[in-house]
Amino acid sequence: MGKTISEKIFSRASGKDAYKGDIVIANVDGAMMHDGMAKLVLDAFHEMGGKQLWDPSKVAAVIDHVAPSANEAISVVQKNLREFALKHGVNFFEVGSGVCHQLMIESGLVFPGGLVVGSDSHTCTYGAVGAFATGIGSTEMAAVFLSGKLWFKVPETLKISVEGKLPPMVFPKDVILKIVGTVKADGANYKAIEYCGSTVREMDVEGRLTLSNMAIEMGAKTGLIEPDRKTLAYLRSLGHTAQMGYKSDEDAEYFQKLFLDVSDLEPQVACPDLVDNVKPVSEVEGKEVNQVFLGSCTNGRLSDLRVAAKILRGNKVKRGVRVIVTPASRMVYMQALKEGLIEIFLDAGCAVCNPGCGPCAGGHQGILASGEVCVSTSNRNFKARMGSAESQIFLVSPATAAASAVEGKLTDPRRLLKEA
Amino acid sequence: MVKRGKAWKFGDDVNTDIIISGKYKFSITDLDQLSKHAMEAARLEFAAKVQKGDFVVGGRNFGCGSSREQAPLVLKHLGVAAVIAKTFARIFYRNAINIGLPAVECDWVDKICDGDVLEVDLSKGVVRNISCGESYVVKPLPPQLQLILDEGGLVSYVKKHGKLPW
């Protein structure tokens, strides 16, 4: 019987002929923790008698969720994490380096065909380069630190074929919002997703990272994309000698196949308070906006900043609205500087913050007051995520975010295209 | 072991920000203090009124969202004896077992009302609703997970056996 990418990766990592439903003990190729979960990971590691890590070169420690620290409690967590990272010689990313998921890709700790775990649910992002990557809890992460191994149930795969050329002002974020709205919040629970089709093949790797990033919003364990020449070229441009990884066999078995044509897709928005509450932006246009967030592991990369800058160039942010721009990494920030994007943001009146998670998870840098509305390029709009339980978050593409910043209300970016 | 307590009923898709919001998780590391905000965005009175031995009852996809282990931790810390739901999001499910909080998959949660008195007998795989005289058969845990839960979680398991279960 043919195998999916997931089944091939788990066969390699467990040394067994693994198929969906099997419970396997697998060797992991990479493990990532960040400041948001570090206290519990380190507590569990020490409580379990941990003295050394199975392989520090495969471990990353990142300070990104509240970076720089916003309060003394987090400062203590970060101090302990920093000391642990330096003592054990793991790959350590200090305040200002960027969002953990972007750093894992940039640093080469993730590679096609690899099995990677992270103490963060959006670890599934690395599926975009053909790695099986998934979020785990803190206690499990401590167990991985000790042994380099973890048990997994080999998942079934939901294959999502996306076909068609994206219309102007419609982006990978709109595609994934449409998919989440269709599959719903638990439609892929315990499953692996495999994104394929002509739209995905045409998409650059940054766009693919946006698709894979939001696989968890459907409950999926990971969001895989078959590696191709673009994948290798992207990883090599970052200085890594990547190999091709795995493709699914023609006769592999899928849990379900979903087909989607995006040639007529409109810009999409996930309305409060669930990520699967997705509508075309044109249906909710006009909602007054207080804060716009451009950034996150979903949409803080160079292509995202370029699109937003194109719209903001020569424009001003609407009076009364604040715009927070957070590049996904230092590398992204420096390239944006070189291209003049940061100057455009500053000219328009945006607040440009250091690389990191920004306000996405409600830790700092843009906490919402009761009654406030945030238009955000991030991945979750849960009640109380960014502050008050009486605030609202609308998830959109960078283009829709930039257009909404200029207009001061939720705006279909095609409107600005028509006017331009 | 049979556990008896009151049901606190919630709906579908109870996410990790409802269970414990990031604004608290990123400013409070003391579990006593953090637990005071458990389920706050859904039911403000929950943390103050929940009794040791009570059950949290959800619908589909309980615990979706973040991988934060603080979510099951605050519930366990408040004395919640088990979370019973139609389905669980996978990371929450693993986290709950790993910290020793039973996560019980039950197809019949729609029959449970807020405030019902429940008896949960995990060894027999049954939830008894004392308030309305019904019993619901629940899905057993995979044996690998039952081992961890029986020891009170992964850390306790390692302390007792001197090694990981795998």
> Given an 8 Å threshold on Cβ–Cβ distance, is A382 in contact with B73?
no
Contacts of A25 in chain B (CB under 8 A): 166
Which residues numbered 121-160 in A keep a CB inside 8 Å of some CB on B?
Answer: 121, 123, 135-140, 142-143, 146-147, 149-151
Helix ranges, A243-289 (H): 281-284
Sequence ranges of the domains in chain A: 5-260, 268-419
pLDDT value at residue A201: 98
A76 touches chain B (CB under 8 A): yes
Q: Does residue B108 register a pLDDT over 70?
A: yes
Helix count and strand count (H, E) for chain B: 8, 7
Contacts of B87 in chain A (CB under 8 A): 186, 189
Torsion angle, alpha carbons of A250, A254, A259, A260, to 10? -110
B143 touches chain A (CB under 8 A): no
Our CA angle for A185, B27, B70, nearest 5°, is 45
Q: Does residue A137 register a pLDDT over 70?
A: yes
Using CA atoms, how far apart are residues B109 and B7, in angstroms rounded to an integer?
10
Question: Are the beta carbons of A334 and A366 closer than 8 angstroms?
Answer: no
Give DSSP secondary structure letters for A188-202: TTT-EEEEESHHHHH
Contacts of A382 in chain B (CB under 8 A): 15-18, 65
- Residue A139's alpha-carbon distances to B70, B74, B76, B83, in angstroms, are 11, 15, 15, 19
Using CA atoms, how far apart are residues A191 and A218, in angstroms rounded to an integer?
9
- Residue A205's alpha-carbon distances to A192, A213, A265, A331, in angstroms, are 19, 12, 20, 16
A259 touches chain B (CB under 8 A): no
| Both tokens assigned to B157 | 């398991």
- The pLDDT of A246-269, averaged and rounded, is 97
The whole-chain average pLDDT of chain A stands at 97
Confidence of residue A419 (pLDDT cuts 50, 70, 90): low
Q: What percentage of chain B has pLDDT greater than the value 90?
A: 92
Looking at the complex, report in whole angstroms how far the Cα of residue A174 sits from the nearest Cα belonging to chain B.
20
A390 touches chain B (CB under 8 A): no
Q: Does residue B144 register a pLDDT over 90?
A: no
Q: What is the CA radius of gyration of chain A?
A: 20
Q: How many CB atoms lie within 10 A of CB A290?
A: 17
Full domain range(s) for residue B127 = 2-161
Confidence of residue B123 (pLDDT cuts 50, 70, 90): confident
Question: Which CATH number fits the domain that encloses residue B50?
Answer: 3.20.19.10
Helix count and strand count (H, E) for chain A: 16, 18
- The pLDDT of A342-368, averaged and rounded, is 97
Q: Is the dihedral of CA A180, A181, A183, A184 positive or negative?
A: positive
Confidence of residue A44 (pLDDT cuts 50, 70, 90): very high
- Residue B136's alpha-carbon distances to A1, A50, B133, in angstroms, are 38, 42, 10
The whole-chain average pLDDT of chain B stands at 95
Query: Nearest CA to A122 among B65, B98, B96?
Result: B65
Query: Taking the model in full, what pTM does it have?
Result: 0.96
> Given an 8 Å threshold on Cβ–Cβ distance, is A362 in contact with B65?
no
> Given an 8 Å threshold on Cβ–Cβ distance, is B29 in contact with A39?
yes
Residue of chain B whose alpha carbon sits nearest to that of A144: B164
- Among partner residues B65, B90, B154, which is closest to A380 by beta-carbon distance? B65
- Residue A356's alpha-carbon distances to A192, A378, B18, B23, in angstroms, are 27, 12, 24, 16
pLDDT value at residue A416: 83
The hierarchical CATH code for the domain A5-260 is 3.30.499.10
Using CA atoms, how far apart are residues B75 and A404, in angstroms rounded to an integer?
39
| Both tokens assigned to A122 | 């959006």
Peptide bond preceding A227 in cis form (omega within 30 of 0) = no
> Given an 8 Å threshold on Cβ–Cβ distance, is B66 in contact with A140?
no
Q: Does residue A417 register a pLDDT over 80?
A: no
Looking at the complex, report in whole angstroms how far the Cα of residue B131 sits from the nearest Cα belonging to chain A.
31
- The pLDDT of A300-321, averaged and rounded, is 98
Residue of chain A whose alpha carbon sits nearest to that of B39: A384
Instruction: Name the phi and psi angles at A284, rounded to 5.
Output: -120, 10
Q: In CATH terms, are A5-260 and A268-419 the same topology?
A: yes
> Given an 8 Å threshold on Cβ–Cβ distance, is A139 in contact with B155?
yes
Looking at the complex, report in whole angstroms how far the Cα of residue B104 sits from the nearest Cα belonging to chain A.
16
CATH superfamily label, A268-419: Aconitase, domain 3 (3.30.499.10)
Question: Which residue of B46, B90, B146 to mutate against A (max A Cβ within 10 Å)?
Answer: B90
pLDDT value at residue A27: 98
Looking at the complex, report in whole angstroms how far the Cα of residue B97 sits from the nearest Cα belonging to chain A.
10
The reply to whether B166 falls in a domain is: no
Summarize pLDDT for A63-77 with one digit per residue, the tens: 999 999 999 999 999
Q: Does residue B79 register a pLDDT over 60?
A: yes
Residue of chain A whose alpha carbon sits nearest to that of B155: A48
Reduced to 3 states (helix: H, G, I; strand: E, B; else coil), residue A392 is strand
> Given an 8 Å threshold on Cβ–Cβ distance, is A143 in contact with B154?
yes
Summarize pLDDT for A189-229 with one digit per residue, the tens: 999 999 999 999 999 999 999 999 999 999 999 999 999 99
Exposed, middle or buried, A59 (CB in 10 Å: 0-12/13-18/19+)? buried
DSSP element (H, E) containing A278: strand A278-280
- Residue A408's alpha-carbon distances to A54, A173, A278, in angstroms, are 51, 21, 21
Q: Does residue A97 register a pLDDT over 80?
A: yes
Query: Nearest CA to A263 among A414, A182, A162?
Result: A162
Contacts of A385 in chain B (CB under 8 A): 17, 21-22
Helix ranges, A15-99 (H): 38-47, 72-88
Reduced to 3 states (helix: H, G, I; strand: E, B; else coil), residue B42 is coil
DSSP element (H, E) containing A30: strand A30-34
> Given an 8 Å threshold on Cβ–Cβ distance, is A138 in contact with B69?
yes
pLDDT value at residue A10: 98
Residue of chain B whose alpha carbon sits nearest to that of A367: B23
Query: Nearest CA to A200 among A280, A130, A277, A267?
Result: A130
A258 touches chain B (CB under 8 A): no
Using CA atoms, how far apart are residues A86 and A30, in angstroms rounded to an integer?
18
Peptide bond preceding A273 in cis form (omega within 30 of 0) = yes
Q: Does residue A418 register a pLDDT over 80?
A: no
Q: Does residue B21 register a pLDDT over 90?
A: yes
Burial A158-174 (b: 16+ CB within 10 A, else e): bbbbbebebeebbbbbb
Overall number of domains in chain B: 1
pLDDT value at residue A242: 86
Contacts of B13 in chain A (CB under 8 A): 185-186, 274
- Among partner residues B15, B26, B155, which is closest to A382 by beta-carbon distance? B15
